[in-house]
Amino acid sequence: MILDRIWRSRPEARLLPAEGLHGPTVAVMAMMSFVMIVVAAAGLALANAAGVVVSATQSRYVIELPATSASDLPRAVAAARAVPGVRNVVAVPQSEMRKTLERWLGDSANSPDLPIPSMATVELAPGARSATVASAVQATVPAARISAESAELKPLLGSLRALQWLALALVLLMTIATAAAIVLAARGALDTHRPTVEIMHGIGATDRQVTRLFERKIAIDAIAGALAATVAASIVLLLIGAGASAAAADLAWWSPFAARDFLLLALIPIAAVIIAVAVAHATLLRALRASL
C-alpha cells in the first residue's frame, strides 16, 4: 500500500514493524466510521424530510364543513378569499374526497347515503393570521371549522425529531466507542513494542519521541480505515438514494441531502481520525509516564 511505503520511508519509522495496516485498528476505524456516516446520513435525511413537511404545511389551513352544510362551501370559500393575506383557496371536489375514502371504505365510499364533509385548503401569505380567516368564514358559515395542516402532522413531526435525536445519540455513542477502541489499540501496541520502548527510553528518547512513532502509525491506520468507510458509505448512500428517487419519482423536487449535509458527512471520517490520533496521543503519554 502507498501509505505503507510512506510509513517505511522515514528511518525512525522503521523502529516499529509496519504490520499495523493489517491490524485491528484499520478494521475498527472502518466499521465505526461507516456506521457513523450512515447513521448521520439517516439523521440528516430525517431532518430534511421534517423540514420539507414543516415548510409545506406551516402556511396551509383547512376549512371543514359538516355534511349537513356541504352546500355552503362556495360561500365559505368566497369569504376566505376576501380576507387580505390569503394567497389561495381551493375547494376539494367531492369526487376526490370519495376517492380518498375508497382506500378504507371500498365501494361504499361512493354511496349517496354516506355523509361526506366538504373541505377547502387555504394558503396564507407570510404574516397573515389564520384567526382573521376563521372569523370571516364563520361569520358567513357558522358551522365551518378551520384547522392548521401542521397540527394534523404534529405526531409525525414529533417522531421524525425523536429519530433525529436518536441518530445524533448513536453518532456520539459510536464516537465514544471509537475512542475506547483506540485506547485499547494504543495500549496493545505499546505492550507489543514494550522492549523497543524500553530500549529507546534507555538511550534517551523522550516520551514525545516514542509517542510520535505510535501516533503516526495509529494515524495511518485510522486514515486507511476512515477512507475505506467513506468509500463504502458513499456507495451504500448512493444506492439507497437511487432507490428512493425511483420510488418517489413524483417528489423530484425533494432531495434527502443539501450541499451542507455532504460537507457534514465528509467531516465525520476526518473528525474520527482527529479523535483517534488525539486519544492515542493522550493514552500513550499517560502510559509512558507510568514508567521511569
Partner 1 sequence: MRQGAPDAGRVQLSAIVQFESVGLRYGTGAEVLRDLDFTLSRGSFYFLTGASGAGKTSLLKLLYLSQRPTRGRIRLFDQDLSDAARDSLPHLRRRIGVVFQDFRLIRHLSAYDNVALPLRIAGRDEEEINSAVREMLDWVGLGDRSGARPATLSGGEQQRVAIARAVITQPDLLVADEPTGNVDAEMAKRLLHLFGALNGLGTTVVVATHDLGLIASNPAAAIMRLDSGALVDPTGLLRNPPQVDRREARP
Residues that bind partner 1 (CB under 8 A): 11-12, 14-15, 17, 195-196, 198-207, 209, 289, 292
Q: What is the DSSP letter of 14?
A: G
Minimum CB distance to partner 1, residue 42 (Å) = 45
71 or 206: whose CB is closer to partner 1?
206
Among 61, 69, 94, CA closest to 144 = 69
152 or 198: whose CB is closer to partner 1?
198
Minimum CB distance to partner 1, residue 12 (Å) = 5
Minimum CB distance to partner 1, residue 215 (Å) = 16
Minimum CB distance to partner 1, residue 200 (Å) = 7
Q: Which helix (H) or strand (E) holds 265?
A: helix 259-289
Burial class from Cβ neighbours inside 10 Å (0-12, 13-18, 19+) for residue 145 reads middle
203 or 252: whose CB is closer to partner 1?
203
- Report CA torsion sign: 92, 93, 96, 98: positive
β-bridge partners, 88: 123
Minimum CB distance to partner 1, residue 10 (Å) = 10
Separation CA 6–CA 194 (nearest Å)? 24
192 or 255: whose CB is closer to partner 1?
192
156 or 199: whose CB is closer to partner 1?
199
Query: SS3 sequence, 77-137?
Result: HHHHHCCCCEEEEEEECHHHHHHHHHHHHHHHHHCCCCCCCEEEEEEECCCCCHHHHHHHH
Minimum CB distance to partner 1, residue 38 (Å) = 39
Minimum CB distance to partner 1, residue 193 (Å) = 9
103 or 289: whose CB is closer to partner 1?
289
Separation CA 280–CA 286 (nearest Å)? 10
Minimum CB distance to partner 1, residue 18 (Å) = 10
Q: What is the DSSP letter of 28?
A: H
Cell of 279: 486519544
147 or 206: whose CB is closer to partner 1?
206
Question: Do the beta carbons of residue 284 and residue 215 sit within 8 Å?
Answer: yes
10 or 154: whose CB is closer to partner 1?
10
Determine phi and psi for 120, rounding to 5 degrees: -145, 145
Separation CA 29–CA 221 (nearest Å)? 8
